[in-house]
């Protein structure tokens, strides 16, 4: 990816660390891939809560570097897939607006991503009308090859 990104450090086989830097200071961000079935894993990233030893993916950092953070997460995902070529990485935002932001990042880097990876988009048929962004278990839907101009609820990326 040709966009500006942070230097990320691989902590172990499934987690990475980098720091967002901006007007609100230097903030630790972690990216963790959690396998849930065979080769399928969930991508989770956000502010690292040192006290609890976990990611907070609901915090809004507002450090003026969201594109750089998302580019770094994208590069970390590609690095993870290089080291786990049989893995399928699923990602969705913790809110509909975050999912849209992730989709914009995929759109901006789609040609680069598609050189070696396949990207699918998930369109949900939501069962829950009370929740703006229900858990994946609360709806069914359809996967298709990612296309610009289509709004998705989730994404899957894997090595071709």
For the chain, give the mean pLDDT.
90
Question: Based on the structure, what is the number of domains in the chain?
Answer: 1
Model confidence at 38: pLDDT above 90 = no
- How far apart CA 74 and CA 20 sit, in angstroms, is 15
Please give the residue range of the domain that contains residue 120: 32-44+65-159
Flag whether 114 is in a domain.
yes
- How far apart CA 160 and CA 150 sit, in angstroms, is 22
Overall average pLDDT of the 120-149 stretch: 75
C-alpha separations of 148 from 52, 120, 138, 145 in Å: 38, 11, 26, 10
Model confidence at 7: pLDDT above 60 = yes
Overall average pLDDT of the 102-111 stretch: 92
């Amino acid at each position: 990816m040709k966009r500006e990104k942070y230097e990320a450090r691989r902590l172990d086989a499934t987690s990475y660390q980098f720091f967002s830097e901006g007007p609100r200071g230097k903030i630790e961000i972690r990216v963790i891939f959690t396998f849930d079935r065979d080769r399928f894993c969930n991508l989770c990233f956000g502010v690292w809560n040192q006290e609890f030893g976990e990611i907070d993916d609901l915090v809004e950092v507002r450090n003026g570097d969201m594109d750089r953070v998302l580019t770094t997460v994208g590069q970390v995902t590609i690095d993870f897939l290089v080291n786990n070529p049989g893995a399928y990485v699923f990602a969705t935002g913790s809110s509909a607006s975050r999912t849209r932001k992730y989709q914009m990042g995929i759109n901006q880097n789609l040609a680069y991503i598609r050189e070696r990876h396949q990207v699918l988009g998930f369109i949900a048929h939501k069962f829950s009308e009370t929740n703006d962004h229900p858990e994946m278990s609360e709806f069914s839907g359809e996967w298709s090859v990612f296309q610009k101009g289509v709004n998705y609820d989730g994404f899957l990326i894997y090595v071709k």
